[in-house]
Amino acid sequence: MTKHLHAQLLLAAVLSVSSVPRARAQTTFAEASPRLQTVVDSAVTEARKQFPKLQANQIAVTLVDVRDPAKPARGSHRGGEQIYPASVIKLCYLAAAHRWMEDGKLTATPELRRAMSDMIVHSYNEATHYVVDVLTGTTSGPELPEAELKSWFEKRNAVNRYFAGLGYQNVIAHKKPWCEGPYGRETQAIKAFEPKRNFLSTDDTARLMTEIVAGKCVSAKRSGEMMALLKRDPFSQEKDADSQGKFTGSALPAGAKLWSKAGWTSQTRHDSAYVELADGRRFILVTFTESHASERGILHAVARKVVEELK
């Protein structure tokens, strides 16, 4: 089975549980650009040169030039491949929470705001658990009878249905991020239903970042609130979740500004970044790596090459 077919089957499984129409065709958020493709290919080549054990199928990159907001341009390497996203999935929960609030399905209580901030600024898993609970009307807990578990899982797929309805094809966002867990009905659902993990592609992640940056995710006001949580100081020495040289920020030149959401596990190291350079260049760079989590320099190599070659 090809990986593309596998991705389609996973999406179909999610949608069939909830008996909603399949997602419409993928919305083109940025035109494919030979110029950007050359930059991406060069960046991947450079990363593999510096890290010879890095295989071409262990890295995915999507680059979007957003200097002209009306005509964003895109290049990618394995941009449509579904990859376990680690904490980058929290971007999807953030966007969904704002959509739910905009539609009156959620109230912007101080506790929800606190959880959203901790989920993005500090990447706290416990905060994310709360956000997932209020988005989907589900909670973790003891095992459930089969019929109740099916109903629980249908509710848990609410965020998937939202993104599928917008034309996203590679968003699977129905699992809580864990350190030591999961247990109980969370484990029960993993055993009973497909897909068993969250997934994202770098293309879909870049699309979401592009919409947030352009003020088109839910609304301009809510996009601005999301940007405020994603703001990073790439040169900070403080030990927050997305700094300390772990990701894209420390590879940027002086004067750069950064908004990002990173994710990492023992097997993955990812970053989704929007960068503004002092010379006026503005781009979104999403890089996912697998099986090389300890090699922080891969993300740095990609970012440095993009800065060097993006004209």
Per residue in 153-165, is it b (16+ CB within 10 Å) or e — as a string?
bbebbbbbbbbbe
Task: Choose between 14 and 196: higher pLDDT.
Answer: 196
For residues 137-152, give the mean pLDDT: 98
User: Is the pLDDT reported for residue 2 higher than 50?
Assistant: no
User: Is the pLDDT reported for residue 4 higher than 60?
Assistant: no
Query: For domain 28-81+202-311, which CATH number applies: 3.30.450, 2.40.10, 3.10.20, 1.10.3470?
Result: 3.30.450
pLDDT at 26: 52
| Side chain identity, residue 233 | D
Find the length of the chain.
311
> 10 Å Cβ neighbour count for 181?
13
pLDDT band (50, 70, 90) for residue 237: confident
Task: Choose between 8 and 272: higher pLDDT.
Answer: 272
CATH 3.30.450 domain residues, the chain: 28-81+202-311
pLDDT, one tens digit per residue, over 161-208 is: 999 999 999 999 999 999 888 999 999 999 999 999 999 999 999 999
β-pairing, 257-264 vs 268-276, is antiparallel
User: Is the pLDDT reported for residue 17 higher than 50?
Assistant: no
pLDDT, one tens digit per residue, over 67-99 is: 998 899 999 999 999 999 999 999 999 999 999
Return mean pLDDT, the chain.
Answer: 91
pLDDT at 69: 87
pLDDT, one tens digit per residue, over 19-39 is: 333 333 455 899 999 999 999
Q: In Å, how far are 127, 209, 212, 224 from 113, measured between CA atoms?
A: 10, 20, 18, 14
Phi-psi region of 244 (alpha: psi -120 to 50; beta: other; left: phi over 0): left
For residues 132-161, give the mean pLDDT: 98
User: Is the pLDDT reported for residue 238 higher than 90?
Assistant: no
Identify whether the C-beta of residue 36 lies closer than 8 Å to the C-beta of residue 74.
Answer: yes
CA distance 45 to 56: 9
What is this structure's pTM?
A: 0.90
| H-run or E-run covering 14 | helix 3-18
User: Is the pLDDT reported for residue 7 higher than 60?
Assistant: no
